[in-house]
Amino acid sequence: MKMKKRALVSVSDKTGVVEFCKGLVKCGFEIISTGGTAKALKDAGLKVIGISEITGFPECLDGRVKTLHPNVHAGLLAMRSNPEHMAQLEKLNINTIDVVCVNLYPFKATLAKGADFAECVENIDIGGPTMIRAAAKNYQDVAVIVDPKDYDKVLQELANGGVSLDTKKYLQYKVFAHTAVYDSLISNYLASQLGITFPDEVTFAYEKAQDMRYGENPDQQAVFYNEQFIRKGSLSSAKQLWGKELSYNNINDANGALELLKEFGKTPAVVACKHANPCGVGTGNTVFEAYMRAYESDPVSVFGGILAINGAVDEQTATEINKIFIEIVMAPAYTDKALEILKQKKNIRLLQIEDISARRESTAFDMKKVYGGLLVQQYDESLIANEDMNVFKTKAKVETVTTANGKQRKTYGVGVVTDRAPTADEVEAMLFSWKVVKHTKSNAIVIGKQGRTTGIGMGQTNRIWAAKQAIEHAGKEAKGSVMASDAFFPFPDCVEECVKAGITAIIQPGGSIQDEASVEACNKAGIAMVFVGNRHFKH
């Protein structure tokens, strides 16, 4: 039998499919199709061979079984260069299929609209993945298209004698990338339905958002991928209003600012960030007041930094921002006048993130790639270990324990561990500073007052260096400030630095074998100290 040029077309996304099929017909192809695709093509005046004419079997089970048939898959998988394959097709009266154009049931869209479990399962495609994988396996002989963006390229090559082997290999790659993402969405959805947090095997689906000019350094290539579902309050949901494209470092640094900003809810807050670390944080009654406090916290480091703001940027705030060089401003809104002012700086980037204060979704995970593996953890969502307990008013439980060498030492529970409890103003400053230290690279120390940081020490290899760095940055402002430490004091030396600087209260996790020495040093100096029970390492 003489083999006819045939294309099998069955798509859920019908973008451009009519024009594509008209082009195939011009190239001498017969069109085989199914269901809604067949109807759309017939309505456009195209002659279509129904799939049942090929299989000799009716579509059944509400369309669940249409293309799962030897007459289809033999036509896809037969190697044209293999005489035995072709002889078997001849004997079985099966025609080859040279082009396959298929995209899959809209599982992602079904999830996005919040469909129930039954509807989601019904939108898991079976025949589609089977066909495109079969066609892709036989890439030498079959051109398989899953992306409408490739229609024109395929038609151009067909019109010039046939689809090249290089193009077929590229289309093969796109098939397996497409099905990998599709199956990833399904498996992760099913895991979530079963409450499986950390599966034994896992895949994550991302799609390219943009190419970067380079990575952290000019000799590194880089790209930014979005998760398949855009999350509220994330950089993926940002709308860029002004400025050149974001760089790799811009995105990484901006994310650090965003995560800290979310700690303040609806309280007007501004986070100034540099190299993913806060360099100045302020809150206030207005965005302007919050910005001025953040700026005044460290007017040197904020230069060339990133601002995350949880309220609308107004004319007054924009005027102040324009007095220095800022890389990026992120805010939920800008007044028209503020935009006019900020756009006077050609090198600033302005991002609008409407839900900038939205908390992270419970299904989101913190991931870090290491060479040869992937670290995955839940986000650090807690602030204080026992949030129902007022640790600032509760006296910590103290117990005496005997160590292995027979010595005795005191251990402290959560709460006030010193003779003096913090004042109301100190409590406010401690809570503020504790939020900031949670998002500062370890080892981290934050010194602050009500509504503003006064000094930040971050990323040091020992805690006393972080404390000295924060105190040095604070200068005279250290006096009357409070100190927050992301982990316990291993020695009383940090307390001794607090005494010298005039710091009046300390908030830290507690849990060191040297806690008693730190408590005694605080009591001697009249410093209030509170243990909250949980640390906030950030690496």
Q: For residue 61, name the pLDDT band (cuts at 50, 70, 90).
A: low
**In 3D, which of 413, 499, 385, 488 has the Cα closest to residue 445?**
488
DSSP-assigned states of every residue in 407-472? -EEEEE-SEE-SSSPPPHHHHHHHHHHHHHHTTSPSS-EEEEETTEEEEEE-S-SSHHHHHHHHHH
5, 137, 153, 343: the active-site residue: 137
What confidence score (pLDDT) does residue 63 get?
65
Distance (Å, whole) CA 257 – CA 235: 11
Among residues 22, 153, 232, 275, the one annotated as catalytic is: 275
Verify cis geometry, omega within 30 degrees of 0, for the bond prior to 123: no
Angstrom distance (rounded) from CA 173 to CA 351: 35
Q: 244 catalytic, yes or no?
A: no
Q: In the chain, pLDDT over 70 holds for what percent of residues?
A: 98
Instruction: Encode 379-411: b = buried (16+ Cβ within 10 Å), e = exposed.
Output: eeeeebeeeeeebbeeebeeeeeeeeeeeeeeb
User: What interhelical angle do 127-137 and 70-77 show, nearest 10?
Assistant: 30
The stretch 56-66 carries a mean pLDDT of: 67
pLDDT at residue 21 tops 80: yes
In the residue annotation, 137 being an active-site residue is answered as yes
pLDDT level of residue 60 (50, 70, 90 thresholds): low
Q: For the residues 323-335, what does the mean pLDDT come to?
A: 96
- Measured distance CA(78)–CA(86) in Å, rounded: 7
CA dist 182 and 35 (Å) reads 22
Neighbouring CB atoms inside 10 A of 352's CB total 19
pTM: 0.84
190 burial (CB, 10 Å; 0-12 / 13-18 / 19+) is middle
Taking 80 as the threshold, does the pLDDT of residue 54 lie above it? no
Determine the average pLDDT of the residues in 458-465: 93
CA distances from 242 to 112, 131, 272, 334, 337 (A): 30, 45, 19, 12, 14
C-alpha to C-alpha distances, 320 to 79, 287, 291, 302, 523, nearest whole angstrom = 70, 12, 9, 13, 43
Q: How far apart are alpha carbons 170 and 149 in whole angstroms?
A: 13
Q: pLDDT at position 204, please?
A: 87
- Tell me: pLDDT of 313 over 70: yes
User: What does the radius of gyration of the chain's CA atoms come to, in whole angstroms?
Assistant: 31
Two tokens, residue 281: 């944080």
309 - beta bridge partners?
270
SS3 of 339-356: HHHHCCCCCCEEEECCCC
Cα 4 to chain centroid, rounded? 49
Residue 483 token pair:
């100190």
Predicted pLDDT at 205: 86
How confident is the model over 107-156, as pLDDT tens digits? Answer: 888 988 888 999 998 888 888 888 899 899 999 999 999 999 999 999 99
What is the rounded distance in angstroms from the CA atom of residue 468 to the CA atom of residue 365? Answer: 34
**Span 91-109, pLDDT tens digits:** 888 888 899 999 888 888 8
Q: 269 vs 196, 209, 300, 326, CA distance in Å? A: 36, 29, 20, 17
Q: CA triplet 39, 65, 75: central angle to 5 degrees?
A: 80
The DSSP H or E segment spanning 505 is strand 505-508
Residue 357 to residue 359: CA distance in whole angstroms = 6
